[in-house]
Amino acid sequence: MNECENKFQEWLDHKKLPYLFIEQSPESFATFFRNITKRPDYLIVLPSIVLIAVDTKERKLHESYENYILDEKEEIIKLTSFQRIFRIPVWFAISNKESAYRTWYWISLTEILEKVPTKKSKKSGERFRAINIKDCITIGWDDGFEKLFKF
């Protein structure tokens, strides 16, 4: 478990939310799924008995663009496969050391697929998506989880 996952788990415990941490070692995942999908870090049962999958990301905010970068191939495409195969909505929860992991920026994979265009890195040629902080739902240490589902 990395620091970001550990801090997210502390946050979930603070919220008293039921969750399951998904162990990430290759041996704990069927060979069938390798190179097709990746696992999110957590399954969380929300108070309304909704099950969501959450992939935590430690990302530094690119201040000039006000965005976070997610890799298209290793994060977006593989988690899209997970969402389709298991029929569980996937969310990203993004934070960093600068905020002491006290603020999490949430965005659903579905929203990313629908609203955030794919870009190509001039440096590496790899595809990515730039997630603008304004498109995220901000949930602080003392905020309620219901912010995810307000319309």
pLDDT digits (tens, 9 = 90+) for 23-71: 888 888 888 888 889 999 999 998 777 899 999 999 988 877 889 999 9
Report how far Cα 99 is from the mean position of its chain's Cα atoms: 17
In the chain, % helix, strand, coil (3-state, to 5) comes to: 35, 30, 35
Q: What is the pLDDT of residues 88-138, one digit of tens each?
A: 999 999 999 998 999 999 999 999 999 999 999 999 999 999 999 999 999
Residue 151 predicted with pLDDT over 90: no
- Let me know: does 37 contact 84? Beta carbons within 8 Å: no
Place of tokens 């309620």: 144
Residue 130, judged by CB atoms within 10 A of its CB (0-12, 13-18, 19+), counts as: middle
The pTM of this model reads 0.92
For 141, the domain range is 3-149
* Element spanning 140, H or E: strand 137-140
Number of Cβ within 10 Å of residue 135's Cβ equals 16
| CATH (domain of 28) | 3.40.1350.10
* Four-residue CA torsion sign, 2, 18, 23, 114: negative
The domain total for the chain is 1
- Let me know: does 24 contact 39? Beta carbons within 8 Å: yes
